[in-house]
Amino acid sequence: MTRVGPVRDLRIIGAPSDFGQGRRGVDMGPSAIRYAGLQEKLQQLGHRVEDLGNIPVPPPEQHRVTDEKLKYLPEVRAVCEALFERVRNVVDAGHVPIVLGGDHSISIGSVAGVAAARPSFGIIWFDAHGDMNTHETTPSGNIHGMPLAASLGLGHPELTHLGGFAPKVQPDKVVLVCVRSIDPDEARLIKESGITVFTMADIDKRGMGDVMEEAIRIAGDGTDSIHLSLDLDALDPMFAPGVGTPVNGGVTYREGHLAMEMLAASQKVGSVDVVEVNPILDKRNQTGRMAVELVESLFGKMVL
């Protein structure tokens, strides 16, 4: 096994929360990814890896929804505050956090932690969905559809001002890749926000290589690092069946790896979320293994 790029100090953080989802099961995502050998395989690449365990997350059965437009808001915020502190400390120490979700709402905390420690950064958001809803546009009230909007300062103050500041990132440094399922009001917000978007149609027309080259240029130009938020539903369900909100027509196995390989070659990735793995809906941990393989490519695994 060979590696491109330098040896990295990696820190794994579990965020086993499904408060932001409408379907149970993603709270077991960190366990599924760990079971697939994440730490061992990254160590085999020569990286220095430490697993910091999970942030504490209570089960949803102990809580109830009080706002249908912001389901489990206090619980989501508490999880994200704990993750914010953990990620900020890891980045401050010069290490690379690999955050294992959990649903995508946890990225409100991880992005905030990165922003507090390293204000100059860009984001590549790899997702079938826009995650650009707010409490005013959401059709479901599930906060896992809001983390990118919150990171840009759009939405409820309890989410946008996590960590005491907003926005966490500037829109001209944010790239949304692989989208193919957008809510109508969310589409308006995306167009008004100023972020760059590459849909699956763009990938079909231009190819993943061309799209990622531009995405890395936008998110990496003038920034100290890139944060990758990797939702496994970006991939086609054929390759990643164990996700909470699968959408047909997604990224292929090789397209996913090419994207990660190009990010590795850029040497700009300073933090990553891996989210929405749902073992209950998976087939023999196929999606957990896919997550590990993609992270291997992200941190330099090469054929030769």
Report all structural domains of the chain as residue ranges with CATH numbers, in order of start: 2-302 (3.40.800.10)
Cα separations (Å) of 207 from 46, 129, 204, 236, 242? 31, 19, 6, 16, 26
Instruction: Tell me how many degrees the CA angle 252-30-295 measures, rounded to the nearest 5.
Output: 40
Given a cut of 90, whether residue 97 has pLDDT beyond it is: yes
Q: Which residues pair with 196 in a beta bridge?
A: 175
Instruction: Please give the C-alpha separations between residue 28 and each of 22, 170, 264, in angstroms, as whole numbers.
Output: 15, 32, 27
Residue 192 CB-density burial (10 A; 0-12 exposed, 13-18 middle, 19+ buried)? exposed
pLDDT tens for residues 159-210? 999 999 999 999 999 999 999 999 999 999 999 999 999 999 999 999 999 9
Prediction pTM value: 0.97
Q: Which pLDDT score is estimated for 65?
A: 83
Please give the share of the chain, as a percent, with pLDDT higher than 90. Answer: 93
Q: Are 117 and 31 in contact (CB under 8 A)?
A: no
Please spell the DSSP secondary structure of 76-143, one letter per residue: HHHHHHHHHHHHHHHHHTT-EEEEEESSGGGHHHHHHHHHHH--SEEEEEE-SB-----TTT-SS--G
Over residues 17-67, the pLDDT tens digits come to 999 987 889 999 999 999 999 999 999 999 999 999 999 998 877 778 888
Token digits of residue 138: 């959401």
pLDDT at position 22 is: 79
Spatial CB neighbours of 292, under 8 Å, sequence gap ≥ 6: 33, 36, 37, 38, 41
- In this predicted structure, the answer to whether residue 147 has a pLDDT above a threshold of 80 is yes
Q: Average of pLDDT values for 76-85?
A: 98
pLDDT of residue 53: 98
How far, in whole angstroms, is CA 230 from its chain's centroid?
A: 4
Contacts of 88 (CB under 8 A, 6+ apart): 112, 113, 114, 116, 117, 163
Reading the block at residue 184, the tokens are 């109508």
Q: What is the pLDDT of residue 59?
A: 83
What is the C-alpha to C-alpha distance for residues 143 and 92, in angstroms, rounded to an integer? Answer: 28
Average pLDDT, the chain: 96
Q: Determine the straight-line distance between the first and last CA of the chain, rounded to whole angstroms.
A: 8
* C-alpha triplet 150, 154, 156: angle, nearest 5°: 75
pLDDT for the residue 271:
98
Residue 139 has pLDDT above 80, yes or no: yes
- Kindly report the number of other CB atoms within 10 A of residue 92's CB atom: 12
Please tell me the predicted confidence (pLDDT) of residue 18.
94
Longest dimension (CA), the chain: 54
**What amino acid positions are annotated as catalytic residues?**
104, 127, 129, 131, 144, 231, 233, 276
